[in-house]
């Protein structure tokens, strides 16, 4: 298997990671950037070396089930993957949870008021939906509350999960989502929800939590990342910790600098290309050199545009990690490759 291919040291090497001490990893990103995939890869990377990690989604999309090619997740924590074992350490485990506000509310009622039966009846009456509707933010505080509960859960004198990774709402909503405990606190000035919100807030705004951004090297996603970073930085005064920027779908560049410039300017030597095609034994070469040159030009322009986006991301001042483009359909092997890239660069 690939991870035994001489690089297993990567998995066992005792070393500091960039997010030592962080136990709740919140992963956000613009739609289409591969947020769920990166969250999954991060969970696997964190689980390496015999650790137990919970990967949790909050938007009811069953994205995790699709990622791990498993049937839809119930409201319950279920093991979906193992991190690679090494000769000296057992493989870690990744559990998954599709969190749901109603179920979380019933759990909450049961925990604090012993009201499970009432809770179930209330769901039927639509009361739960009603309550989460008239208290905007209640839904979000229940979901973040669930993540906080899992982060702090103890069993047999030790923490139950070594880390929790949350596949959070997209960048456009993340500020509100994470600040919701404050919004609810402002709305419900007294009462149990207020107390609950305060607890949630104290964990979210602590060094135990970090918010990572997933982006690709395109203008709009990069802009949203920068906006999101700026927004959260505003909340950082309250203790919210910004995490890393995960640059997804990075393509390797096969051209030398010189070729890249020439290709971008459209001044590649087509005669040289054609000679090469001839040497490669391609007979029907009519127009081929020109077409390939056009493809190279597009590729080079893309690369230069991506470099410009990369330097914009540098302005955010947060650590950045590159995740390679997986050209095949994303499967477990692809996820492991992304996980290895994250570990390799110190993200986990």
* Interactions with other proteins, residue window 19-38 (CB under 8 A): 30-33
Among 198, 265, 298, 331, binds other proteins (CB under 8 A): 298
Is the CB of 80 or the CB of 247 nearer to other proteins? 247
Is the CB of 52 or the CB of 320 nearer to other proteins? 320
Beta strand residue intervals within the chain, DSSP E:
24-29, 52-57, 78-82, 93-98, 154-155, 158-159, 163-167, 209-215, 242-250, 320-324
Of 164, 150, 131, 158, whose CA–CA distance to 53 is shortest? 164
Contacts by residues 218-222 (CB-CB < 8 Å, ≥ 24 positions apart): 218/305, 218/306, 218/309, 219/305, 219/309, 220/30, 221/29, 221/30, 221/32, 221/33, 222/309, 222/312, 222/313
The answer to whether residues 38 and 29 touch, using CB atoms and an 8 Å cutoff, is: yes
Q: How far is the CB of 273 from other proteins (least distance, A)?
A: 5
Site string for other proteins, 58-97 (x = CB under 8 A): -xxx----x-------------------------------
- Regarding 114 and contact with other proteins (CB under 8 A), the answer is no
Which residue stretch of 70-78, 90-98, 222-230, 233-241 sits at the interface with other proteins (rule: CB under 8 A)? 222-230
Among 25, 139, 146, 212, binds other proteins (CB under 8 A): 139
Strands 242-250 and 52-57: unpaired
Is the CB of 67 or the CB of 211 nearer to other proteins? 67
The answer to whether residues 268 and 259 touch, using CB atoms and an 8 Å cutoff, is: yes
- Regarding 261 and contact with other proteins (CB under 8 A), the answer is no
Q: How far is the CB of 161 from other proteins (least distance, A)?
A: 25
* Site for other proteins, residues 231 to 260, rule: CB under 8 A: 250-257, 259-260
* Site for other proteins, residues 160 to 189, rule: CB under 8 A: 169-170, 172, 176, 183, 187-189
Is the CB of 142 or the CB of 161 nearer to other proteins? 142
Count residues binding other proteins (CB under 8 A).
104
Of 53, 263, 321, 56, whose CA–CA distance to 166 is shortest? 56
Which residue stretch of 75-83, 88-96, 154-162, 277-285 sits at the interface with other proteins (rule: CB under 8 A)? 277-285
- Rounded (10°) CA dihedral 211, 238, 105, 195: 160
Of 284, 345, 339, whose CA–CA distance to 43 is shortest? 339
Which residue stretch of 39-47, 152-160, 203-211, 320-328 sits at the interface with other proteins (rule: CB under 8 A)? 320-328
- Regarding 117 and contact with other proteins (CB under 8 A), the answer is no
- Regarding 135 and contact with other proteins (CB under 8 A), the answer is yes
Strands 78-82 and 93-98: antiparallel
- Regarding 267 and contact with other proteins (CB under 8 A), the answer is no
């Amino acid at each position: 298997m690939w991870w035994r291919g001489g690089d297993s040291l990567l998995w066992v090497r005792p070393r500091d990671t960039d997010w030592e001490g962080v136990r709740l990893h919140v992963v956000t990103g613009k739609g289409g950037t591969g947020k769920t995939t990166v969250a999954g890869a991060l969970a696997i990377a964190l689980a390496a070396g015999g650790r137990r990690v919970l990967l949790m989604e909050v938007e009811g999309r069953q994205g995790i089930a699709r990622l791990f090619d498993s049937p839809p997740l119930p409201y319950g924590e279920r093991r979906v993957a193992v991190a690679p074992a090494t000769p000296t350490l057992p493989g870690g485990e990744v559990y998954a949870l599709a969190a749901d506000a109603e179920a979380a509310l019933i759990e909450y009622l049961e925990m604090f008021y012993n009201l499970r039966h009432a809770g179930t009846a209330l769901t039927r009456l639509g009361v739960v939906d009603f309550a989460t509707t008239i208290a905007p933010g209640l839904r979000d505080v229940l979901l973040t509350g669930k993540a906080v509960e899992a982060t702090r859960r103890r069993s047999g004198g030790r923490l139950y999960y070594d880390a929790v990774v949350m596949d959070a709402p997209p960048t456009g909503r993340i500020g509100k989502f994470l600040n919701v405990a404050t919004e609810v606190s402002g709305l419900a000035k007294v009462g149990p929800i207020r107390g609950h919100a305060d607890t949630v807030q104290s964990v979210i705004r602590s060094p135990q939590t970090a918010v990572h951004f997933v982006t690709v090297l395109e203008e709009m996603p990069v802009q949203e990342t920068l906006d999101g970073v700026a927004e959260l930085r505003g909340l950082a005064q309250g203790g919210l910790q910004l995490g890393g920027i995960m640059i997804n779908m990075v393509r390797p560049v096969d051209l030398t600098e010189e070729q890249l410039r020439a290709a971008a300017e459209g001044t590649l030597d087509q005669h040289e290309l054609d000679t090469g095609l001839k040497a490669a034994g391609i007979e029907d070469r009519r127009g081929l050199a020109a077409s390939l040159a056009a493809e190279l030009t597009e590729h080079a322009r893309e690369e230069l545009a991506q470099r410009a986006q990369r330097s914009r991301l540098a302005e955010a001042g947060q650590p950045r990690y590159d995740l390679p483009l997986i050209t095949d359909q994303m499967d477990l092997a692809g996820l492991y490759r992304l996980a290895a890239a994250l570990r390799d660069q110190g993200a986990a």
